[in-house]
Structure 1
C-alpha cells in the first residue's frame, strides 16, 4: 500500500509478564516464546511484535512488528532494520521542575568534601544534594531556569528567587556557575556568585586571597572574593555565617542576612 500504518498491537502484550530464554512467564503451554523468538518480551501466546529479536535473522526470530493492512483487511509482520523505544512523562506544570537541593529536616550533613558534592548525597524524599555532575548534565543545553524557595528561621517569611538562565560548567572548570535574569521578592545575591567555581572544604577554588570560604562557612558553594552573600548548604543547626542564610533585608543599618530554616533549589527546561 502507499500509506502503511502500524497496528496498535501493544494491546496484545498488555498485562503480560516479561519472559526470557531462562524465565518463561508467557501463556503458551507448548513452548517458551522467548526461546522461539530469540528475544526478551512481554509475550502472551507469543506475540505480534519482537523488537528484541535477533538482529541478523529475518524470520520470527528477527526484529519485527505486525504492521500492514492490505485492501482485504489482512495484516502481516514487517521486518525492521532498527527500532527505538522512548518514554515520556505527562505532568502538570509544577511537576516539570527537577529539584537538586533541599534543606528541611536537618538530618543530612552538608559539610562534605568534593567527591560527595560531585556525586550527590542524601535522600530524594528528604534533605539531599543531587550532585554537581548531574547538575552539569541537566543544564549544559543552555536552556534551563532556576528557582529557589526559602523560609526564614522563624517561619514568618517565604522568599523566592528565580533566574531565567542557569547553567553549570563541566568538572574541568570546577562546575562554574552561570546565572542571570533575576526576579523574586528578595535580593539578587547569586549575581555575586555568578562566574565562580564550586568549592568545598577539601577543594578550594574561591578567589579569596587568604581564606578557604567553604571551611569558614561549613558548606560547599560557589564562593567569591569576599566569600558569599548566601549559604544555602550551610550547617542546619547553626546561625550566622556558618548556618543557612540569604542576604535579603534592608533595614536602618542597611542589608543584613537572615537565617533560614528551609531551602529548595530546582531547575526547569524552558523549551
Structure 2
C-alpha cells in the first residue's frame, strides 16, 4: 500500500502552516507530491522563504495521534495567502519585495510591496513617490482601487487600505526625503480609515513619534477628496487646487499633503504649495522629492 503523506494548510485561530519546499524525506506518491508543490506563500521569484512549521507535527496536534492523518488538498481552496507583510515576516520571509496577501474581509488576494527592513520590517507600502513619473491627479475611482506600478510610484487604493485597517489594528509609518536626499519619518501608533460610504474618513491616528513633526493629526476626521469628488467641507475645491487626492480639511486645506502634483522647474505661487509637502519637515512650501506611506498590524 502506498504511503499517504499529508499537507495541511489550515487555519485554527492564529495557526498557519505552509511549506517552502517539498520534504524529500517523506515517501510521497507522484500525485501527493504534485499536490504539495506550489502551496507556499506567493513571493518574488528571487526570494526563497523558509518556514518554521513542521506540517506532520502540526497535523498530529490537530487531529490527534490516535487517528490516521488523512487530509486532502482541495485545489480550489488550497492556497493560503498571508493577511499582511508582517505575517510573511513572522513566517520567515525576510526579504523586501512584491508579495500576494489577502487581508481579512478581502474576496481576492492583492499584490503589495513589503518592506522587511525599515523599523523592524513587516510593513505594507500603500503610497510611494520618488521620481514624479506617476500622475497623482486622479479621479475618485483611481484612488479607490489604486494606480501606478509597484516597481515605481503608486497608490495602493483606499479600499485596500480600508479593508486592512478595518479588520485589525494597524500603525502608520511615513518616510519623507528632501532634495538633498536627507530622510525623516513620522510614525503613528494607530491608523485606520472608514469605508467609502463615509468618504474614507481618516478616523484613527494614534500617538506620534519621529523627527519631522506631527503634521498629519490636523487631518484627523477629514474625508478624502479627489478632482471629481469634493468632500473637504469648505468652499472651493482643495483637490483641484493642489492637484491631488488627499484628506483635505479646514480653510487651509491641509498641513501636509503627499499626493499633490509635482511642480515644474519654474515655480508659480500655486506650485509652491503643490507636490509633496510636510509642514514640520522643511516647511509647508518646500516640495519634497519623495515619500512613502507604510502600514503594519500593531505589535502588542
CA 1:131–1:49: 2 relative to 1, 3 Å: closer
The corresponding residue for 2:254 is 228
CA 1:48–1:132: 2 relative to 1, 3 Å: closer
The corresponding residue for 1:268 is 296
| Structure with bigger gyration radius | 1
1:247 to 274, 279, 284: 279
* Higher strand proportion (structure 1 or 2): 1
2:289 corresponds to 1:258: no
The corresponding residue for 1:218 is 243
Give 3-state SS (helix, strand or coil) of 2:207's partner: strand
Q: Any conservation in 2 of the 1:142–1:165 contact (CA below 8 Å)?
A: no
CA distance in 2, matches of 1:247, 1:196: 17
Give 3-state SS (helix, strand or coil) of 2:218's partner: helix
Root-mean-square deviation (CA), in Å? Answer: 3.5
Deviation at 1:236, TM superposition (A): 2.2
2:201 corresponds to 1:199: no
1:146 to 172, 175, 190: 172
CA distance in 2, matches of 1:167, 1:126: 25
Q: Any conservation in 2 of the 1:101–1:130 contact (CA below 8 Å)?
A: yes
CA distance in 2, matches of 1:136, 1:116: 15
Extract unaligned runs of 5+ from structure 1: 1-5, 17-42, 52-64, 69-74
* 195-204 vs 90-99, greater mean Cα deviation: 90-99
Q: Deviation digits for residues 206-252 of structure 1, max 9, x if unmatched? A: 022x11100011110000012001110011234411221110158xx
CA distance in 1, matches of 2:130, 2:34: 48
Q: Any conservation in 2 of the 1:48–1:77 contact (CA below 8 Å)?
A: no
Aligned length: 213
Extract unaligned runs of 5+ from structure 2: 8-18, 37-55, 61-66, 83-87, 95-115, 265-270
Give 3-state SS (helix, strand or coil) of 1:136's partner: helix
CA 1:246–1:15: 2 relative to 1, 3 Å: same
2:112 corresponds to 1:86: no
- Residues 27-66 of structure 1 mapped to structure 2, 5 A cutoff: 44-47=29-32
1:129 to 148, 155, 160: 155
> What is the TM-score with the length of structure 2 in the denominator?
0.62
Q: Deviation digits for residues 150-209 of structure 1, max 9, x if unmatched? A: 011343x3221100110011111010012121111112111110110000010000022x
2:217 corresponds to 1:188: no
Give 3-state SS (helix, strand or coil) of 2:135's partner: coil
